[in-house]
Structure 1
Amino acid sequence: MQFQSLGVLLWFLPVAGFIILLYLLKVRRREVRVPAKFLFPAITTDVRANALFQRLRPNLLLFLQLLAALLLLTALARPMIQAKGLPGQSVIVVDTSASMQATDVAPSRLEAAKNRLRRFVQELNPGEQLAIIEAGAQVRVLASLTSDKQKLLNAISQIQPTDTAGNLDEALRLAAALVGKSDESRIVLLSDGAFPPVSDFSAGSAKLVFESLGASSDNLAITAMDVQERTGGLEWFVGVRNFGSQPTKAILEFYAGDKLIDARPITVEAGQTIGQTLTARQLPEPLEARLKVDDALPSDNRAFRVGVAQKPVRVLLVGEGNFFLERALALEPNVKVDKAPSVPDSERGERVGGGNYDLVIFDRTAPVPVKARAVMVIKAQGGPIAALGQPVRTPRIVLWEREHPLMRYLELGSLLIDSAPRLTPAPWAKTLAESQQTPLIVAGEHQGRRWVGVGWDLLESDFPLQPAFPIFVANLMRWAVGEQGSATDLTVRTGVPFSLAVDPAETELAVRDPDGNTRTYPVNDGAVVIPGVERAGVYTIQGRKTEIRVAANLMHADESNIQPRTSIQLGNQTVAAQNTLTTLRDLWKPIALALLALLMVEWWVFVRRS
């Protein structure tokens, strides 16, 4: 037992002394002569008990009053005991990423987390509330703060495993927003810790508790797969990594068109990666690499590939680097991005064609002639698209060409720009967005090459944080590469959103997952955004005039490294894992009830004696 104010108990000595002193004090009475004292037995007894300096006789009232004083001071000292469960309001964040499917904890880590959740619900006391947040690729609040146990149990039954990386940072920030203002609240993370450090996070006044799940790191995973054209055929490469602590043997199988075409034994040393290559003249799709091995995580033992014949769109980003732009480009399927401080000599040239890149983006870097058939210039002097003049402070976009392919579905009226130079477009360039003082986005075709000019530094605006930014990048890819950007079979990573350009006559597309379940998505003017798929495998996307196959793979080192973490990094804080979760519960309320009952007994004894 612990006390919040242990010093209050020391007051029992003077309080008890004062009560005893009252019993020792002699009561002043007026003397009255009576004919016989047997008529007043109670009075004589009272006189004897209150005789000064005499030894106290046993007195039930005195004992009850001392006990009442002790209970009162004990309640004021706020005693607390350790108990199972969570106090006040608490949020449980459940990691549903791929690594939580590991079977080193029977039947799986995720099922162990769900069982732990059920115990939290059963231990819930009256007046306490729980909320449940699912942290997969998409963060979902399964149950808001409630004390309804049945509602919480129903929410737990909705938790399903995924083959994606978990969005733990967003889930934890949401939990902090729910209970971060109360110092009696808890944020409990049920996870194996298989996720990158979370930066810029604070739990506020709430206490954060991390319960680690898992017991083993033994796992063999396919971490890379690619198919390249070579002289005389195709070369299929598969990378396999051993995340365990012991050498592991397995059989690597190659399937093409659902038929086994090769199988070979492999041995991977602990912590090492090996590569296996298969060369063939033709490879009917879909392609699948499969590991036959007894390990804890089956999700990363298979990898799929479609769209081998389709060449990826290659983008060169020239400049110091732009995290937001790189991330938006990475969301686009079948796009490969390279970064460089300057354009390599092999990519320079006045004529279109002959280079390795389809699009070159000059971010705050003076453009040079390149072989790519599309060029984007971001706040850079030089090039034929536009000239930069004097800066304009806080320009606001008032007009934009909503029908142009680059500007479709964009809402730019709330865009905040700190500063932008005055833009003078070339005669062949069209203004797509402008403020009252200057054009801000221009585009056009010149000498067989498509050009896009953005007049301000993206990092000096909130454009990268707006929903319109990834849409703008998707529009850019489709417009810049032309017909090559039309929808064909493609390979994506699970949990990552991607967009497709389809026939404008389509109104909706049906996505059928590997288990045969179907979900529909609306099509707007020939574009559809898929918010990511949760299971690895080959998906079919169908419409009235569209049929596309999409291969989805995990291929995420953080998820395949299933070693349970003993601590995690959240912001500037290192949170150690706890195996058991206990809390301190106040006892002053039951003590106060006992005090009231005791006072009633004391009053009854006093009345009986009177």
Structure 2
Amino acid sequence: MYWLYRRARPHPRPAAGVWLWQRALGRGGARRRVDLRLLLLLLATILTALALARPYLLRVSPGPLVLVIDASASMAATDRAPNRFAAAQALARPLLEAAPQAVLVRAGLEPRVFGPAPGPALLEPLAALQPGDAAADLEAAIRQGQALLPGAPVVVLSDTPPPPGVDGYWNVAATGENRGITALGRGFLAIGNASGRLWDGRVQVGGQTLEVRVPAGGFRVLEYPATPATTLRLPDPDALELDNLAFYRERPPRVRLEAAPPSLVRLLQLLGAQRVRQNPDLEVRFGRPPEDPEGFSVYFATEAGEARRVFDLEPTHPALRSVELVGYALPIPPPPPTSWRPIVYDASGEGLVWAHPRGLYLPPIEALQDLPAFPVLIYNLLAPFRKAMAPLGWNGVLEPQVVEGVAVNLSAPSETFLPRPVPDRPLHAARTPVPLAPFLVLLAALLLWGEARLAGRRSA
């Protein structure tokens, strides 16, 4: 560097008397002038040393994104203006606008996926989404989004806590009060009170208005005259309208008979069942059951051993509700496969009636048809199929109504008791290192070029 500084300096040439002039000029303590060439050389040296250290800057750069938005009914609550779902949409827009590639997933009863596509192209589908499903399967929505865009960070917008493993989460819950119809059946309904105070209100059942008092954070069950079709309404406004209206509808259970014993045919007619050949709700068969029935089926044994008196039964099983069999003698049917379990026993623990998640195995019908409990047993088996009910979100229905004879309601306590706020987990933006060494070397070269120009001018 010193050589560069000295290379253009002329050699001294002594001349007579010049030293006197130099001495006279130096007596005044002349100021030292800053040498611009030396300054440029020092700056070039510093920049070159910095370049050798390979410095870099972290630049925020948007990347691909999987965005999951909760579309459950609680997201329609108006305790955030205009509602929780609109707040989630507002948070989602800038994320999609910045994403070069994204997948948008609506989390409801079944996930609905949009993309992969450039983020801005998903703004229109985002604006068209509406909440209202009776539940949101966030985990299934995340799995579908990750399958379409592997490796992309996952962001969840919801009013419920996120599943583990998400990369970003924004909570849109609030603290509004709400009341709603949380369950209903033939002749009864349950009302939940999602507030911190006792609620005195009204419920309209058909053309009748009933007074109701529901404890803070609790439920109240009401009975009303049972009818096959009923409309129920809570007239008082609150944070969520979707659970203030409900419908109850019944339809004849559809039964297919493998054989037609007269006693069973007459009983099914009395209970309002409909005999069909295809798409039954319940199928009646005769013989030993298989390991795993395809649909819900009732099997009557065609042969049996000696009769044993019923000693005990499982009263909590739905088919045995109000069924009095203790003390009656029933023949022992041939044992079913191991996937079936006994629910009616004799004194030695031998099974007389067996159950499966999709069926019931009974002794021969001749041993049961004359018992007082037989009509109750058949009624219990038909009861689950009488309701023509479906949850909100079924077939895309997002408001309580009756669709082709099926009552579509919310009836979900987890939605009526609106989720409360939890902390956010913002997504950490992806940062790309930008090396600075090339820029530093280029700047140092420019400074050396400038110093060379100055040296050339002085030598001239």
TM-score (norm: length of structure 1): 0.49
The amino acid of 1:551's aligned partner reads: A
Aligned 8 A contact 2:192 2:413 in 1: no
| 1:134 to 2:106 alignment | yes
Q: Which has the higher strand share?
A: 1
Shift of 1:136: 1.1
Shift of 1:375: 5.8
Match of 1:494 in 2: 392
Shift of 1:112: 1.1
Taking only the aligned residue pairs, the percentage that are identical comes to 24
Given candidates 209, 213, 218, the residue that maps to 2:172 is 213
Change (3 A) 1:582 1:245: farther
Change (3 A) 1:601 1:539: farther
Aligned 8 A contact 1:350 1:370 in 2: no
The amino acid of 1:106's aligned partner reads: A
Shift of 1:106: 0.9
Match of 1:602 in 2: 447
Change (3 A) 1:33 1:535: closer
**Distance in 2, Cα, partners of 1:265 & 1:344:** 31
Asked which structure has the greater CA Rg, the reply is 2
Shift of 1:551: 0.7
Match of 1:118 in 2: 93
The amino acid of 2:201's aligned partner reads: A
Match of 1:291 in 2: 234
**Distance in 2, Cα, partners of 1:362 & 1:539:** 42
Matches within 5 A, 1:6-21: none
Match of 1:60 in 2: 40
Shift of 1:174: 2.7
Shift of 1:448: 6.6
Aligned 8 A contact 1:218 1:244 in 2: yes
Q: Which has the higher contact order (CA 8 A, sep 6+)?
A: 2
The amino acid of 1:555's aligned partner reads: S
Matches within 5 A, 1:99-114: 99-114=74-89
Secondary structure of residue in 2 paired with 1:559? helix
Matches within 5 A, 1:110-509: 110-124=85-99, 128-144=100-116, 146-149=117-120, 151-178=121-148, 181=151, 185-193=152-160, 203=165, 208-227=167-186, 236-255=187-206, 261-279=207-225, 283=227, 286-307=229-250, 339=317, 346-347=324-325, 363-365=339-341, 368-370=351-353, 490-495=388-393
**Distance in 1, Cα, partners of 2:338 & 2:396:** 33
**Distance in 2, Cα, partners of 1:495 & 1:166:** 10
The amino acid of 1:253's aligned partner reads: Q
Match of 2:58 in 1: 80
Q: Which ranges of structure 1 fall in alignment gaps of 5 or more residues?
A: 1-22, 38-54, 228-235, 256-260, 316-324, 330-336, 353-359, 378-382, 385-445, 450-479, 497-531, 542-548, 567-575
Change (3 A) 1:214 1:129: same
Match of 1:233 in 2: none
Aligned 8 A contact 1:129 1:147 in 2: yes
Aligned 8 A contact 2:108 2:137 in 1: yes
**Distance in 2, Cα, partners of 1:219 & 1:168:** 24
TM-score (norm: length of structure 2): 0.62
Shift of 1:139: 0.8
| 1:577 to 2:440 alignment | no
Q: Which ranges of structure 2 fall in alignment gaps of 5 or more residues?
A: 16-34, 254-270, 274-280, 284-291, 297-314, 343-349, 368-377
Change (3 A) 1:142 1:103: same
Shift of 1:608: 3.0
The amino acid of 2:170's aligned partner reads: E
The amino acid of 1:212's aligned partner reads: N
**Distance in 1, Cα, partners of 2:86 & 2:208:** 36
Match of 1:70 in 2: 50
The amino acid of 1:246's aligned partner reads: R
Aligned length: 357
The amino acid of 2:95's aligned partner reads: F
